[in-house]
A and B are shown apart, each in its own frame.
Chain A
Amino acid sequence: MALKDKHAKQIEATFAKYPDKRSAVMPLLHLSQQEYGWVSPEGIEEVAGLCEMDPTQVRSIAGFYTMYSEEPKGRYWLQVCTDLSCALCGADKFYEDLKKELNVEDGGTTEDGVFTVEHVMCLAACDKAPMLQCNFHFEENLDMDKMRTKLAAWRAEAAKNKA
C-alpha cells in the first residue's frame, strides 16, 4: 500500500507543522524508510510526489544525510561509534570483536540478513562507551558479553517474526 494511504494521518500532521511542503521531505523520508526498510526508488518517487519536489532533489537529500540508507540493510542495523571519546574507551576493539563475532566486514550484512554492522561518527553518548545504535535506539556501556546476549535476543526476535 502506498505511504499516502497507509499513513495518511501522520503525513497530514507532518505537513501541518510547516508553512512550506518542502520542509516535510526529511520526516517523510524517515517514514518511507521505516515502511520499506530502506530509501527505495519507489519511496523516493512517493516522497517527491507528496512534497511536490523533483525526485532528483529528494534523492540528493537522501544521499546527503547518513541515516537514510539507499540500499537494503539487515533487520538490525548496528552502528558502532568509533569516534575519539569512544575510541579512548575501547570502541575500536569492541568493533573488531563484534565484526569477528558476526563474521562480517565493515558495512557488511550477515548471510542470514539479520545484522548489518558499520562504524559511525559521534552519537553523543560519549560517557557510555562503547556504545552503538540499533535501528536508531541507543545501546550503551557495552562489552562483548552483553553484546552476545543482545545479539541472541535479536536473532530470536528475527526468527520469530519470520515464522
Chain B
Amino acid sequence: MYILYRGREVKNIHKFDVYTEHGGYEGLKKALGMKPAEVIETVKASGLRGRGGAGFSTGMKWSFIPQSEPVKYVVVNADESETGTFKDREIMETNPHQLIEGAMICAWAIQAKAVYIYLRGEFWDVAHELDKRIAEARKAGFVGDNVMGSGWSCNVYTHLGAGAYICGEESALLESLEGKLGQPRVRPPFPAQKGGGLYGEPTVVNNVETLTNVPWIVTNGADEYKKIGTEQSPGTKIFCVSGHVEKPGNYELPMGVTFRELLYTHAGGGKGGRKIKAILPSGGSGPIIRVTEEVLDTKLTYEDLGKVGSILGSASIIVMDETVDISWVAARIIKFFKHESCGKCTPCREGTYWLDKLMDRVMEGRATQADLDLVNNVAKNMAGMTLCALGDFAANPIIHTIKNFPEDFKQHLAPAGKAPTRAGAAD
C-alpha cells in the first residue's frame, strides 16, 4: 500500500483535480473542523516519527510551540542532501499536493502565519513545478487568505537553497532562509521556542516525508496508522536503495520490513548476483555494517537498527558488494564532509581536513599503523564536539569503517621499513 507514493497507484495524482477526486484535501477540511490541539493530539497518538533522520515524535514537536506567541511558522525541510537520499524529490514530483496539504494541517495545528518550503538549489525544476501546485491550492481556497472560510490565513512559499549540505540541518536551514550563511545556531533556544525559530519566532521544521504522512493520519485516524509498521515505528517508510543492487530506487514499505526482503525481494539482490558485503543504512553519515545473516534478518525500524550497531536515519541505504574496498568508501565519504563542513566549529572544520589528508595517505600506501590510530583519534575528537550533528556524521563513517573492516585498511599500510619517516609524514 502507498501512503506517500500514491502517484504509483493513481495516475496524474500530481494534478489538483485528480488529487481531489481521490480524497485530496479531505484531511485539511477535517482538521479545520477540529481544534488545533486536537490535531496535535491525533498526530501524537499516531506515533509518527520525523523522517528526516532523527525519528523524533512529530506530534510532540508540534506541541512544543507556545500558543501564546502571535507569530509562528512552519518550515518544510526539502533540502534532501544526505548522500544516498533521493526520496523527497519523488514525493514532490509525483504527489505534491499531499505535501502542501500536510504542511497546511501542521500550520493549522500550530496556528502558523506562513509555510516555507526550503528546497535544495539543485531542485530548481521541482521548485518551479511546486509553485504551480501551490497556486492551484491557493485558487481553490486551501492556501492563502481565510483558508476554507475558517478565518485563518496562511500562505505557502518555496525557497531555493544554493548548494550546501549543511542547510539540511534545521538551524542552518533557518539561517539560510533568513539570507545568511547556512551555519548552525547555538541551542537553546530551539526552533520551537521564541528566539530560536525563523525570524526568532517559534517554528516547526519538518521533513517532506514526515508532513506527507499527515493528511492520511488525519483522514483515517491515529489507530489506523498504528496498524501499519511496528509499535515503536508506525507507518510506512521510503527506503532509498542505491549502489550495488540490481534495481536501485525508492521503496515505500511498512516499517519493520527486513533488509533481506528489501534488498533481495524488492531491490533484486546484489548487482550481477554478487554477494553484498556492507551496508550504509543511513547514507554517508551513519555507521557502516558488515552484512551477515543476522543483519539481513534485522527489521528496518528506529529501534532495531541499534541492535546491529547502526541507525535508521533517513533510510538511505547504500549497498556495497564484495568487490568494494571499504577504506576507499571511507576516503570518499570524508571528501564529502570536508567539502560540506560549514567551517563554524573547529573540530569539524579542521578534523575533516586532516581526516581527508590522512585517508589520502592510507590510499596511497604511505600510511603506518600510527597513522590509522591517528585517524581514529581525530575522528573521536570530533564526535560530540560541535554545534550540530555534522561533526558526528563526519566522524561516524570513519570510526565504524575502521572498526568493522580493519583488514581493508591494513592492506594499504606501507610495508615494514618502507614507512615514511616522521618528517616525511608531515606533508
Chain A residues near B (Cβ < 8 Å): 17, 19-20, 22-27, 29-30, 51, 53, 60-61, 64-68, 83-85, 87-89, 120-129, 133, 136-138
Assembled-state Cα–Cα distance A20/B159 (Å): 14
Contact, CB under 8 Å: B122 / A67: yes
Determine the residue in chain B with the shortest Cβ distance to A24. Answer: B179
How far does the Cβ of B175 sit from chain A's closest Cβ, in whole Å? 10
Given A64-B164, A84-B284, A84-B329: A136 touches B121 (CB 8 Å cut-off) = yes
Determine the residue in chain B with the shortest Cβ distance to A133. Answer: B122
Assembled-state Cα–Cα distance A133/B120 (Å): 13
Q: Which of B33-41, B225-233, B244-252 contacts A (4 or more CB under 8 A)?
A: B244-252
Contact, CB under 8 Å: A121 / B339: yes
Say yes or no for B80: interface residue by CB 8 A criterion. Answer: yes
Given A66-B164, A121-B339, A124-B89: A84 touches B318 (CB 8 Å cut-off) = yes
Assembled-state Cα–Cα distance A137/B339 (Å): 22
Chain B residues near A (Cβ < 8 Å): 80-86, 88-89, 120-125, 157, 159-165, 176-182, 199, 240-244, 248-250, 280, 284, 316, 318, 320, 324, 329, 332-333, 336, 339-340, 342
Determine the residue in chain A with the shortest Cβ distance to B182. Answer: A64
* Most chain B CB within a 10 A radius of its CB, from A25, A29, A88, A125: A88
Given A124-B80, A124-B81: A88 touches B162 (CB 8 Å cut-off) = no
Give the top 3 A-B pairs by smallest Cβ distance, nearest first. Answer: A65-B162, A22-B179, A126-B242
Contact, CB under 8 Å: B181 / A85: no
Given A26-B159, A30-B162, A136-B121: A64 touches B181 (CB 8 Å cut-off) = yes
Contact, CB under 8 Å: A61 / B179: yes
Determine the residue in chain A with the shortest Cβ distance to B155. Answer: A17
Assembled-state Cα–Cα distance A137/B124 (Å): 7
* 28 interchain pairs, CB-CB under 8 A: A17-B159, A23-B178, A24-B179, A25-B179, A26-B159, A26-B160, A30-B162, A61-B179, A64-B181, A65-B162, A65-B182, A66-B162, A67-B162, A84-B280, A85-B318, A88-B318, A121-B339, A122-B82, A122-B85, A122-B165, A123-B122, A126-B240, A126-B248, A127-B86, A127-B250, A133-B122, A138-B122, A138-B125
Residues of B within 8 A of A133 (CB): 122
Contact, CB under 8 Å: A127 / B248: yes
Residues of A within 8 A of B250 (CB): 127
Residues of A within 8 A of B89 (CB): 124-125
Residues of B within 8 A of A17 (CB): 157, 159
How far does the Cβ of A64 sit from chain B's closest Cβ, in whole Å? 5
Known: A83-B83, A85-B84. 12 other contacts (CB 8 A): A26-B162, A67-B121, A83-B284, A84-B284, A85-B242, A88-B242, A88-B324, A122-B336, A125-B89, A129-B248, A136-B125, A138-B125
Partner pick for A65 among B125, B163, B280, B284, CB 8 A cutoff: B163
How far does the Cβ of B349 sit from chain A's closest Cβ, in whole Å? 13
Partner pick for B332 among A23, A66, A87, CB 8 A cutoff: A87
Residues of B within 8 A of A128 (CB): 248
Residues of B within 8 A of A29 (CB): 162
Given A84-B318, A127-B250: A19 touches B199 (CB 8 Å cut-off) = yes
Contact, CB under 8 Å: A84 / B248: no
Residues of B within 8 A of A65 (CB): 121, 161-164, 182
Assembled-state Cα–Cα distance A126/B242 (Å): 6
Residues of B within 8 A of A137 (CB): 124-125
Contact, CB under 8 Å: A84 / B125: no
Residues of B within 8 A of A120 (CB): 163
Contact, CB under 8 Å: B243 / A88: yes
Given A26-B159, A64-B164: A122 touches B81 (CB 8 Å cut-off) = yes
How far does the Cβ of A118 sit from chain B's closest Cβ, in whole Å? 12
Contact, CB under 8 Å: A124 / B179: no
Assembled-state Cα–Cα distance A51/B340 (Å): 27
Contact, CB under 8 Å: B122 / A27: no
Residues of A within 8 A of B199 (CB): 19-20
How far does the Cβ of B199 sit from chain A's closest Cβ, in whole Å? 6
Determine the residue in chain B with the shortest Cβ distance to A79. Answer: B122
Residues of A within 8 A of B84 (CB): 84-85, 122, 126
Partner pick for B86 among A22, A60, A89, A126, CB 8 A cutoff: A126
Assembled-state Cα–Cα distance A126/B85 (Å): 7
Residues of A within 8 A of B340 (CB): 121
Contact, CB under 8 Å: B181 / A125: no
How far does the Cβ of A53 sit from chain B's closest Cβ, in whole Å? 8
Residues of A within 8 A of B161 (CB): 26, 65, 67
Contact, CB under 8 Å: A88 / B320: yes
Contact, CB under 8 Å: B83 / A85: yes
Partner pick for A121 among B125, B165, B178, B318, CB 8 A cutoff: B165
Assembled-state Cα–Cα distance A85/B81 (Å): 13
Residues of B within 8 A of A19 (CB): 199
Contact, CB under 8 Å: A67 / B83: no
Partner pick for A84 among B81, B178, B336, B339, CB 8 A cutoff: B336
Residues of A within 8 A of B329 (CB): 84
Assembled-state Cα–Cα distance A85/B199 (Å): 36
Determine the residue in chain B with the shortest Cβ distance to A64. Answer: B181
